[in-house]
Amino acid sequence: MDAEVLLDMARHQVWADAAHWKTLRENTTLLEDAEIRGRLNHMLMALKIRTVLD
């Protein structure tokens, strides 16, 4: 895979994560939703894996 594509994917991930966290800070009741909590867990695990691979 081209390095520029990987950089674009990483930039998108940063943007998407920031959008998620902004929404959650603005509406904390969302944290009570089981599906959203599952997605947050997935985001956290992906971040951990990504930092190990970097």
- pTM for this predicted structure: 0.65
Residue linked to tokens 């390095």: 3
Span 23-54, pLDDT tens digits: 999 999 999 999 999 988 998 898 888 788 76
30 within 8 A of 36, measured Cβ to Cβ: yes
* Residue of 35 and 10 predicted with greater confidence: 35
DSSP secondary structure code for residue 28 in this structure: G
30 within 8 A of 24, measured Cβ to Cβ: yes
